[in-house]
Chains A and B, each alone.
Chain A
Amino acid sequence: MKADTRIARRAPDQVMRLGRLGSLHQCRLSFMRQLTRRMAREGWRISRPVFDIDAKGVGRAVYTARGPERAYSLIAFAHDLPPEMRSDRVIAEAWDATFTLFDGVPSAADIDRLEQNVPLQEAGRISESELSLSRANRSVRLWAHVVEALAEGRQPDLEQIDSVGYLMRTTAVYGSGKFGAADREVIAARDEMQAPFQAEMLSVYLTRVFVRDLMQHMARAKGGDSAVDLDPAIARRLGIGNSTGLGMAPFIVNHPVLFNNWIIVREEAIARVRSVETASKAEVAVFRDLVARSALSVAQWRSAHPIQIEKLKDLSRDMSALRAHVEDADLEGEYPWDRLVIWAEEALSQEGQELVASLILEPYDDLVDGLASCMADGNGQAFRIDGAMSLDEVTALLHAAFGWALEVDWDAREENARAWYVSEEKLEPRLAERFEEEVADYEQPLAPGRDAARAFADLKLWSGEGPIAAFLLEHPEHRHIIRRIQMHQAAPYGEIRDNTIGAELLPIDMLRAKLSFFGATHFDPRSDRWVRICMYAGAPYPEELSDDTADLWVYPEAVS
């Protein structure tokens, strides 16, 4: 990646703070938009070879997406779930619908095999022919309302549609070799799967189509001849919800190179656009239009969580300030985007600053979109420790990557208040109060800052020209963090520069950082450690997908 830019990338010290990571917004690099642009550009065809579902909504369906070289099929199983069994938590054992993304077109025997396993989710087994495993639950309120309205021959209430935003929400989408699925390596070299999470994003895209069709099917079964079809414009407003818990938070700590690649690519894109000397009238027009449409999205964003309510108040104020500023600001003068970013740093909250940073990328597909190919982690070598590196060099890198952590008093209770562990019950990561629960023996290595400070204490006794290899033989307990410290060379944005075990930690910040790169919107934390989001709201359905509709769908348009 060549940085041919006048303005430098923002520094890791500024970007990699939890408060900022927890304020990130989707942008044109996000994984959902990469997928829909590709499908439109390459003319993917999407068909529904199987839809075998009864009047109670029980059965199976297959949706096949054909790209230029390969096909992928979502196999859906719809269930009749008693309400008391419905839960988004990972401890659930039954769901309204369960899914797998099949690599190719499944035979009847494949579907039979998967019907024995996919509805069991974690308790079942899938194979190398499958790329993902997922499930979804209905939004009870909205589902009932929409089915009833359509069955009675009327369109659902827009207010209710917008207040929930989706008919079903997924509660886990597993990929990359989980529960027997194909490893990432099996698909990583394919053009259409090279970018991160494309199989998962495709599975969710097709899930949204299935959910619309299932709802329509139920409305017809209920209403018979008096039922009507859902207005396509309303259908488009509906996304797929997603409930994401703590399980996802450790991901960005456990994959520092991958996370670095997401962040550094976005930072590079921001630096390139800030370095644009003058903007054309057309570019300014795109930006102004999307600021207005973003304001609509912000206005539709609801949350019942006190932290997000406060952030949304700020963001709402930010939107007003931004719209006023953009009306008057001279965007045709020199370096308009750089000036705008600098203005935002003074005038807006972090939510608003990050929204501006994402929005300025929109007019510049030519500067930005090519960077998307750098977002995967193809660098298996980063795992290897360079044992010949001198102790002094390692110490210098430690200062560069974890200097902040040496300022923290890790013996203080509030800095060391939490511990990450994996529960026996569901094998999911959880967060404990270290001084109240007996989990220290089970602690996961998810506090790189503390571990770096510990390694530093021992390194000081060794400092010199000698190789780190000798230190590692004597101190194998530091091997994990020394590896991370060396990774800093290849991945300067790979480490969160904040305490991940402190009393003040909000795991939802970690969740949002990851989900924003998927392209999620309308983050709605339900506690400090799980969040609901919306995916694909506004996106075209397969029959509507074209180059004109494939990209900017994430920004709502005013209803005329």
Chain B
Amino acid sequence: MSLSLNEVEGLAKKAARGTGYPWGLAEEAAKASRWLAARGVDGCAALATLLNMADGQDLAAWRPVPGDVWAPPGGHLCPVTAGASLADGLVDLREKAVTMAGVVSPVLLLPFAAQVAASHNALVKVRWHNGSAVTDGDILSLEGSVPEVAEQVTLAVGGEITVPRAPCSRLTPPDETKACLERFAHRTYAPATEESRLKGAGAGLSDND
């Protein structure tokens, strides 16, 4: 099914929230999924990979502890949390490259790398063992393959955009990816009761007159 980017973002936000992300990070996950989809990368699949692994885990243990290597106490690093900190400018990429360890679904770091690139008006290169990406904030070039977990990811200013990806206005994720995100999203919906049906939406006066 072809999704609008608005649908990608909405589904991603609910799915991230459904696995326990606080709203502010769920918003980041949603914008990141949309940013990827708008460049022909399946942001839904990237997020599903993350959420499948993160579901039921203590997300606090997936946060980075910035240092020489951004390593999470729990062994796995959340790309949304780490990416958001990077985009927030917790460190200045122009002064020093950043290495992260145990990054789950590392492709989700790219939208945040793009924010850094845009704010510094520079190119940012993201490398992992069998692939790399370069972005100027808007355009993305992506080479190699994207693992579910990258043992090490390096982000640095520089690089070259070799094959810019064409912009996309829709995303058709595989059915099982969409179903996975919908399953997580479903957790954000309160079960309906007769009371909520009548009262919660405020039936009030007749609506057939």
Contact = CB atoms under 8 A, between A and B. Distances in A.
Interface of A: 83, 86-91, 125, 127-128, 137, 139-141, 176-178, 180-186, 243, 245-246, 304-305, 383-385, 387-388, 421-428, 430-432, 437, 439, 441-442, 445, 467-470, 472-473, 476-483, 507, 526-530
A385 B169 CA distance: 25
A437 B198 CA distance: 13
Given A469-B90, A472-B88, A530-B204, A128 B170 contact: yes
B166 interface: no
Given A469-B88, A472-B88, A182 B4 contact: yes
Given A245-B201, A482-B24, 16 more contacts: A89-B201, A139-B209, A140-B209, A245-B202, A421-B200, A423-B189, A423-B197, A428-B201, A441-B190, A472-B88, A473-B85, A476-B21, A476-B59, A478-B24, A479-B23, A528-B204
A442 B188 contact: yes
Contact of B201 (A184, A473, A529): A529
B204 A180 contact: no
Given A245-B201, A422-B188, A479-B24, A472 B89 contact: no
A286 B99 CA distance: 68
Given A421-B190, A423-B189, A482-B24, A470 B90 contact: yes
Contacts of B5: 177, 183, 185
Nearest to B24: A479
Nearest to A125: B1
Nearest to B85: A473
A483 B27 contact: yes
Interface string B79-100: 0010011011110000000000
Given A91-B197, A437-B195, A445-B23, A304 B205 contact: yes
Contacts of A442: 188-190
Most buried by A among B22, B197, B204: B204
A128 B88 contact: no
B203 A89 contact: yes
Contacts of A480: 22-24, 27
Nearest to B10: A177
Interface in B160-199: 169-170, 186, 188-193, 195-197
A288 to B, nearest CB: 37
B7 to A, nearest CB: 6
B206 to A, nearest CB: 8
A481 B22 CA distance: 11
Interface residues of B, number: 49
A69 to B, nearest CB: 19
Most buried by A among B4, B63, B195: B4
A71 B119 CA distance: 39
A422 B202 CA distance: 14
A181 B4 contact: yes
Contacts of B170: 128
A501 to B, nearest CB: 14
A530 B203 CA distance: 8
A88 B207 contact: yes
Contacts of A445: 23
A141 B3 CA distance: 40
Contacts of A184: 6
A244 to B, nearest CB: 11
B205 A387 contact: no
Contacts of B130: none
Contacts of B196: 423, 430, 432, 437, 439
A182 B170 CA distance: 9
Given A428-B201, A468-B88, A384 B208 contact: no
A430 B207 contact: no
Given A422-B190, A428-B201, A507-B202, A387 B209 contact: no
B135 interface: no
Contacts of B6: 176-178, 183-184
A424 B27 contact: no
Interface of B: 1-7, 21-25, 27-28, 31, 59, 63-64, 66, 81, 84-85, 87-90, 115, 119, 169-170, 186, 188-193, 195-197, 200-205, 207-209
Most buried by A among B81, B191, B202: B202
Contacts of A91: 197
Contact of B208 (A128, A140, A183): A140
Contacts of B63: 473, 476
Nearest to A384: B115
A246 B87 contact: no
B85 A423 contact: no
Contact of A243 (B23, B85, B186, B207): B207
A478 B119 CA distance: 23
B3 A180 contact: yes
B24 A476 contact: yes
A428 B89 CA distance: 37
Nearest to B1: A125
Contacts of B204: 526-530
8 interchain residue pairs of minimum CB distance = A479-B24, A527-B204, A387-B88, A177-B6, A529-B202, A177-B4, A430-B200, A480-B24
A136 to B, nearest CB: 13
Nearest to A471: B88
Contacts of B189: 421-424, 427, 442
A483 B190 CA distance: 26
A476 B2 contact: no
19 contacts: A127-B2, A178-B4, A178-B7, A183-B4, A183-B6, A246-B201, A304-B205, A387-B89, A423-B190, A425-B192, A430-B190, A431-B200, A437-B193, A479-B25, A480-B22, A480-B23, A481-B24, A526-B204, A529-B204
A443 B69 CA distance: 37
A182 B205 CA distance: 35
Given A387-B87, A527-B205, A439 B190 contact: yes
Nearest to B92: A388
A527 B202 contact: yes
Given A88-B207, A184-B6, A424-B191, A479 B22 contact: yes
